[in-house]
A and B are shown apart, each in its own frame.
Chain A
């Protein structure tokens, strides 16, 4: 095999569709309708989006991958492009090749590239209104992918019924059918060569899979973890979690409060924990910067706290709607003084659900701040997942009923943690203090007490480390080269390695990035070469691993332009890194 050649020979198992156009043209609706209809038809779907920080105009795109095998990562390749305006083609120019089929309204696109002409607008007007153009596009794609039109119609009915817009159902169904028939015409009249088009098997079991994005998964995980208080200040890309929980607040006895700023948000949430709630905040880097003093407060109060940090590229305002893994260091060091913490970083949609529950459990158990570190990519990405379980049994609360002699910071504890009382739950008084304090929670400058309190707080780290998640090894056990990933890159690195199919290269993925489990060392020691793959400039996790394990991470593959890795692009980069061709970063 020649170096770098293998990836281009890989037969693709999926069709990659990209929809692109200005904000406000309805890409979101097309994405929503099409992915659901395809999943209900019995296909695996994957969708992610990249968008500009504006409400109207610009160029936003959504990638939908469809397959009869699970697809869970983005690719650079575009098989079918649906441009909705003329800027769309220039926006995606570098990703379009000879094989890309462009379907659109020729007159409006004004491009030299070969376009299969479809006059959506004209067709929509025939039905009665230009607004049906998007549904025609959905029907067209459903047709090209040999989807199930019956499922499509059923979904459409439900979609408009739920929105209480039943009057739009008949015309939308006509639009869907029209698009579907148009696909058949394109094949029949040989505009599209169906022999070259992937024909995928449909599976009935897939119909019961769930489709949800990372924001929903974090939100559902919070609910399952007993969260009943969220206070936050809107900030992309973290707002989806606030919106999701607010919409379900009533059903789940939850208080959702939009705070005046992130400082108020985290201080409220700590107050809520003190008063018996399970509280969280959701924010992005700039918001977390404001919350740091509150994180430190949770540290000394020994208050549980759950912080969802959806990363976007900084510094400062940076690229507000884009993705990066650039705030690991921020989460690691946020807050003055020394105190224990845990940082979790979901790699799969399912992880976001499980880890958010775990965050509440650990926060309550150890009385510490726990971070859930995601990013814009995770928030806005979804693919088929199996049904998620409702937690069994009662949620463990780690709260004690106080007696008259209750001391909030009791130094003699069997479990290494002073039992946490709640005001009005017992005969005692619950005093918590941001000053160094004695066992009663009252201010002190007694140095001996200071030492004991510091040791009691910091010793929790020993217990926390014992419970830490062991990183997951994907690929051959007898690896020579080990790729390191954390958080949202799980599937993209996995697919890149699948594409390369090298017998001695494996992925070690961390969903807990701090503290790192002791067992990590033995995985690293076995490798001859370690490649850290991160969506940031400096390789923050690689350096954290080096300091935690003392093992040198030799090589890095980094991306920091605001976009996630693409599996095909990453496969080439890994190949070049291993075989020494091309420039390394």
Chain B
């Protein structure tokens, strides 16, 4: 028996295309977890379905690979039942902003202390090239044959408008910055969104590695505690800013507000039924 020490799996055979942005995100995430000195046994990655959602398959961590669009609800519950765990919800733009859109809104409201990594390549990969909620207006696909006629969702401005406690965007081509922001997101005590631009080398011939390089820039001289400024920056369209847009450390995380964690921090498996109280409650039904 050898103890599990590293986040890296041996002999990984991924389901990703050569040159896929997912490889960079996987590497950045491994690096971030390592630099935070976490142990594999402390980390749970919850994912939905899609090529991005396969990421935890290639990591040495606890994995809950659930349903398409549904990573956030179990992630919230896992953290609530054992606040000692580091919980990350990970998936693509279709998974998190499309199928799981409602959970995105309500998880922001709850503000659990989890990290939300969204691989955003503006296209559907696993189902082979249809539009995603972040596809740009006019983007042509085998389904949207005349081009997309809906506006793309802006996850950042949406999250900031709801006072999400940590809102950021990175480009996976900049590994160093990606590692840095993922680390900050994990350390942030509350819900933390990292929207990760990535190229899809097979199905998105518009938003390529080169396109992301040319159409993004790093936020500088920006105060992430200024919500109005954050919203303005998040709505920029010409060139897309990268970095931490907004952070609100004043909000208490969901699990801290739950009455079950007020008196004690014990994970749920070690808690016992209070038989005395049950007896009292049953007896109270006499009248």
Query: What is the CA–CA distance of A294 and B73 in the complex, to the nearest angstrom?
Result: 11
Is B269 a contact partner of A422 (Cβ separation < 8 A)?
yes
Task: Confirm or deny: A552 has a beta carbon within 8 angstroms of a beta carbon on chain B.
Answer: no
B81 touches A255 (CB 8 A): yes
Q: Check if B54 is an interface residue, CB within 8 A of chain A.
A: yes
Question: What are the residues of chain B within 8 A of A404 when measuring CB–CB?
Answer: 1-4
Query: Shortest CB–CB separation between residue B283 and chain A, in angstroms?
Result: 8
Is B33 interfacial (CB 8 A cutoff)? no
Q: Could you tell me if B272 and A394 are in contact, using CB atoms closer than 8 angstroms? A: yes
B41 touches A271 (CB 8 A): no
Residues 49 to 78 of chain B near chain A (Cβ within 8 Å):
49, 54, 56-57, 60-67, 70, 72-78
Complex contacts, A433 vs chain B, CB 8 Å: 57, 63, 65
Q: State whether the Cβ of A26 lies closer than 8 Å to any Cβ in chain B.
A: no
Contact A264 B85 (CB under 8 A): no
Q: Are B63 and A431 in contact (CB under 8 A)?
A: yes
A430 and B78 CA atoms in complex are apart in Å by 13
**Quick one: which of A394-439 are within 8 Å of B by CB?**
394-395, 397, 399, 403-405, 422-435
Minimum CB–CB distance for B126 against chain A, Å: 12
Q: Please give me the residue from chain A that is nearest to B78 by CB atom.
A: A275
Q: Given A231-B77, A293-B67, A404-B1 in contact, is the A387-B282 Cβ separation under 8 Å?
A: yes
Closest to A296 in B: B67
Interface residues of B in 14-31 (CB under 8 A from A): 15
Q: Which residues does chain B contribute within 8 Å of A220, judged by CB atoms?
A: 278, 281-282
Complex Cα spacing A251 to B263, Å: 12
Distance in Å: Cβ of B10 to nearest Cβ of chain A: 12
Interface residue A253 (Cβ < 8 Å from any Cβ of B): yes
Residue contact A264 to B102, C-beta cutoff 8 Å: yes
- Does B96 sit at the interface, judged by CB under 8 A? no
Q: Which of B54, B73, B105, B269 contacts A276 (CB 8 A)?
A: B269
Least CB distance from B244 to A in Å reads 27
- The answer on a CB contact under 8 Å between B70 and A427 is no
Report yes or no: B4 in contact with A223, Cβ–Cβ below 8 A.
no
A228-B268 in contact (CB<8A): yes
From 235 to 287 in chain B, residues with beta carbon under 8 angstroms from any chain A beta carbon are 258-260, 267-275, 277-279, 281-283, 285-287
Contacts of A228 in B (CB 8 A): 260, 268, 271
B44 at the interface (CB under 8 A from A): yes
- Shortest distance between the CB of A126 and any CB in chain B (Å): 29
Contact call A267/B67, Cβ cutoff below 8 A: yes
Most buried by B among A269, A395, A431: A431
Q: Which one of A207-215, A462-470, A508-516 contacts B? A: A207-215
Distance to closest chain B CB from A400 (angstroms)? 11
Contacts of B273 in A (CB 8 A): 223-224, 226, 252, 391, 395
User: Which chain B residues lie closer than 8 Å to A442 at the CB level?
Assistant: 57
Cβ of B128 under 8 Å from chain A: no
Are A390 and B275 touching (Cβ within 8 A)? yes
For B78-110 the 0/1 string (1 means CB < 8 A from A) is 111110110000000000000000110110000
Q: Mark A500-541, 1 if CB is under 8 A from B, else 0.
A: 000000000000000000000000000000000000000000
Q: B40 interface residue, CB < 8 Å from A?
A: yes
Contact digits for A227-244, partner B, Cβ 8 Å, 1 yes 0 no = 011010000000000000
Assembled-state Cα–Cα distance A350/B117 (Å)? 47
Is B46 located at the chain interface by the 8 A CB criterion?
A: yes
Contacts of B40 in A (CB 8 A): 429
Tell yes or no: A496 within 8 A of B by CB: no
Q: Are A210 and B41 in contact (CB under 8 A)?
A: no
Q: How far, in angstroms, from A432 to B82 measured CA to CA in the complex? A: 17
- Tell whether A461 is near chain B: CB-to-CB under 8 Å: no
- Complex interface bits, A361-390 against B, C-beta within 8 A gives 1, otherwise 0: 000000000000000000000000001101
**Residue in B77, B82, B258, B285 whose beta carbon sits within 8 Å of that of A269 in the complex:** B77
In the complex, per-residue mask of A247-288: 1 if CB is within 8 Å of any chain B CB, else 0 = 011111111010111011101111110111101000000000
Interface membership of A327, Cβ < 8 A: no
B274 near A297 with CB under 8 A, answer no
Residue B150, interface by CB 8 Å: no
Contact (Cβ within 8 A) B81 A252: no
Instruction: Evaluate contact between B286 and A274: CB separation under 8 angstroms.
Output: no
CA distance in complex: A270, B75 (Å): 10
Partner of B285, one of A216, A257, A259, A441: A216
Instruction: Classify chain A's interface size.
Output: 35 or more
Query: Are B274 and A251 within 8 A (Cβ)?
Result: yes
Tell me the complex Cα distance, A221–B3, Å.
Answer: 41
Judged by a CB distance under 8 angstroms, whether A443 is at the interface is yes
Highest count of chain B CB atoms <10 Å: which of A253, A257, A265, A390? A253
Whether B67 lies near A252 (C-beta < 8 A) is: no
Choose from A276, A426, A429 the contact partner of B60 (Cβ within 8 Å).
Answer: A429
- Which partner residue on chain B sits nearest A251 by CB separation? B277
Verify A229–B77 contact, CB threshold 8 A.
yes
Q: Does A40 contact B (CB under 8 A)?
A: yes
In the assembled complex, how far is the CB of residue B84 from the closest CB belonging to chain A, in whole angstroms? 6
Interface membership of B42, Cβ < 8 A: yes
Neighbouring A residues of B61 by C-beta, 8 Å: 429
Are the CB atoms of B278 and A423 closer together than 8 Å?
A: no
Question: In the complex the two chains form, what is the Cα distance from A253 to B65 in whole Å?
Answer: 28
A143-184 to B contact mask, C-beta < 8 Å, 1/0: 000000000000100100000000000000000000000000
Residues on the B chain within 8 Å of A264, using CB: 70, 72-73, 102-103, 106
Which residues A266-320 have CB closer than 8 A to chain B?
267-272, 274-277, 279, 293-294, 297, 301
- Once the chains bind, are A405 and B1 in contact (CB under 8 Å)? yes
Once the chains bind, are B275 and A261 in contact (CB under 8 Å)? no
A residues in contact with B57, CB < 8 Å = 433, 442-443
Which residues of chain A come closer than 8 Å to B3, judged between CB atoms? 404, 427
Q: Which residue of chain A lies nearest to B74 when distances are taken between CB atoms in the complex?
A: A271
- Tell me if A556 is interfacial: C-beta within 8 Å of chain B: no
Distance between Cα atoms of A424 and B44 in the complex (Å): 9
Provide the residues of chain B in CB contact with A268, threshold 8 Å: 73-74, 76-77
CB distance from A254 to the nearest CB of B (A): 7
Return chain B residues, CB-CB under 8 Å to A348. none
Q: List residues of chain B with CB within 8 A of the CB of A274.
A: 64, 74, 78
Distance A327 CA – B58 CA, assembled complex (angstroms) = 41
- Cβ contact within 8 Å between A429 and B63: yes
Q: Report A264 CB to chain B, min CB distance, Å.
A: 4
Provide the residues of chain A in CB contact with B102, threshold 8 Å. 260-261, 263-264
Residues of A within 8 A of B60 (CB): 429
Q: What's the least CB distance linking A115 to chain B, in Å?
A: 33
Most buried by A among B46, B64, B79: B64
In the complex, A559 has a CB within 8 A of chain B: no
Q: Are A253 and B78 in contact (CB under 8 A)?
A: no
What is the bound-complex CA distance between A423 and B84, given in angstroms?
A: 10
Query: Please, could you name 24 A-B residue pairs with CB atoms under 8 Å apart, sorted by A?
Result: A208-B286, A211-B285, A211-B286, A229-B80, A252-B274, A253-B274, A260-B103, A264-B102, A267-B70, A268-B73, A270-B77, A271-B73, A275-B82, A294-B67, A395-B272, A397-B269, A403-B1, A423-B41, A424-B82, A427-B4, A428-B41, A433-B65, A434-B66, A442-B57
Residues of A within 8 A of B (CB): 36, 39-40, 155, 158, 207-212, 216, 220, 223-224, 226, 228-229, 231, 248-255, 257, 259-261, 263-265, 267-272, 274-277, 279, 293-294, 297, 301, 387-388, 390-391, 394-395, 397, 399, 403-405, 422-435, 441-443
The chain B residues found within 8 Å of chain A, CB to CB, are 1-4, 15, 40-42, 44, 46, 49, 54, 56-57, 60-67, 70, 72-82, 84-85, 102-103, 105-106, 258-260, 267-275, 277-279, 281-283, 285-287
User: Closest 3 interchain pairs by CB?
Assistant: A271-B74, A276-B269, A271-B77
- Not counting A220-B281, A404-B1, A433-B63, a sample of 18 additional A-B residue pairs whose C-beta atoms are within 8 angstroms of each other reads A158-B287, A212-B285, A220-B278, A223-B281, A224-B278, A229-B80, A260-B103, A271-B73, A277-B268, A277-B269, A297-B67, A423-B82, A424-B42, A424-B84, A427-B4, A429-B61, A434-B66, A441-B63
